Amino acid sequence: MDYQSIAFVAAKQNQAQNALIRLQGQYTCVSPDEADVIVALGGDGFVLETLHRYMDTKIPIYGMNRGTVGFLMNEYDENGLINRLANAEKTDLKPLRMQAWDMNGKKHEALAINEVSLLRETRQAAKLKILIDDIERLEGIICDGALVSTPAGSTAYNLSAHGPIIPIGADVLALTPISVFRPRRWRGALLPSSAKIEFQVESPEKRPVSATADSTEIRDVERVIIYEDKEHALTLLYDPEHNLEERILKEQFQP
């Protein structure tokens, strides 16, 4: 696709800001509100921040790595950017919607591109009840927490918690426990993307739990519902030789 109007945004780190200055001097650019495509300079955290910021615009995001990990990013190269954008392949992402009720009964909502995680707040382990599509599947799981991951987020926190890596094209979500104590043999589940996952926190006053959708944290929750938000379509652009689906496949064969 031929993108006529390019906007550049960058993380606060020096290497990202320096890259921003050089690219803005080399290419004609516009503000993000006027752009056909947004080029994000930074790391994975910054491209997630950019996706959240411009989620309602439906403008595709092309990331170039000026951060640390850069799993979600393309390689940084100042040359030939127009051709790279024209030849880039689209990867569509569907975020998760988190609905959380705190101990005061207040409802909070947020979207997550990677995962929604529940974590204990104190030395006391969390005790959770898990329902899938309103059917109770586990009662009284004792753990540090649990998370629900999208395919795009499956190589992030989910993988660190020993959850499965999910191909981008798979219509499944990963439900992964974090340092589970009881039941000892439970290692999580793969669920259809249409599933509604509900966590109920048992004894929240004694065992307080927080819920986090990417970077949005809600403290002292009693109940959390998570499901795929089909109304928000997010698009990342990748060079053909570095597409996200291929990266996730390669990650499963790392020694």
Q: What is the 3-state secondary structure (H, E, C) of the chain?
A: CCCCCEEEEECCCHHHHHHHHHHHHHCCCCCHHHCCEEEEEECHHHHHHHHHHCHHHCCCEEEEECCCCCCCCECCCCCCHHHHHHHCEEEEECCEEEEEEECCCCEEEEEECCEEEEEECCCCCEEEEEEECCEEEEEEEEECEEEEECCCCCCCHHHHCCCCCCCCCCCEEEEEEECCCECCCCCCEEEECCCCEEEEECCCCCCCEEEEECCEEECCEEEEEEEECCCCCEEEEECHHHCHHHHHHHHCCCC
- The answer to whether residues 103 and 224 belong to one domain is yes
Residue 125 parent element (H or E): none
- The answer to whether residues 35 and 139 belong to one domain is no
- The answer to whether residues 171 and 241 belong to one domain is no
Q: Is pLDDT of 114 > 70?
A: yes
The whole-number pLDDT of residue 99 equals: 98
Q: Is pLDDT of 253 > 80?
A: no
- The answer to whether residues 129 and 148 belong to one domain is yes
137 lies in some domain: yes
Confidence of residue 50 (pLDDT cuts 50, 70, 90): very high
Domain extent, residue 210, equals 96-228
- The answer to whether residues 193 and 139 belong to one domain is yes
- The answer to whether residues 74 and 192 belong to one domain is no
201 lies in some domain: yes
Q: Is pLDDT of 193 > 90?
A: yes
- The answer to whether residues 195 and 109 belong to one domain is yes
| Average pLDDT of the residues in 87-107 | 95
Please tell me the total count of domains within the chain: 2
Q: Are the C-beta atoms of 253 and 137 separated by less than 8 Å?
A: no
| Average pLDDT of the residues in 231-255 | 79
50 lies in some domain: yes
Q: What percent of the chain stands above pLDDT 70?
A: 98
- The answer to whether residues 141 and 194 belong to one domain is yes
CATH of the domain at 123: 2.60.200.30
Q: Is pLDDT of 248 > 70?
A: yes
- The answer to whether residues 114 and 219 belong to one domain is yes
The whole-number pLDDT of residue 31 equals: 95
- Given 2, 33, 36, 44, which residue is catalytic? 44
Q: Is pLDDT of 255 > 70?
A: no
- The answer to whether residues 177 and 77 belong to one domain is no
CATH of the domain at 66: 3.40.50.10330
| Average pLDDT of the residues in 219-245 | 89
1 lies in some domain: no
- The answer to whether residues 102 and 72 belong to one domain is no
Q: Would you call 56 a catalytic residue per the annotation?
A: no
- The answer to whether residues 100 and 224 belong to one domain is yes
Q: Which of 77-81, 160-164, 166-170 has the lowest mean pLDDT?
A: 166-170
74 lies in some domain: yes
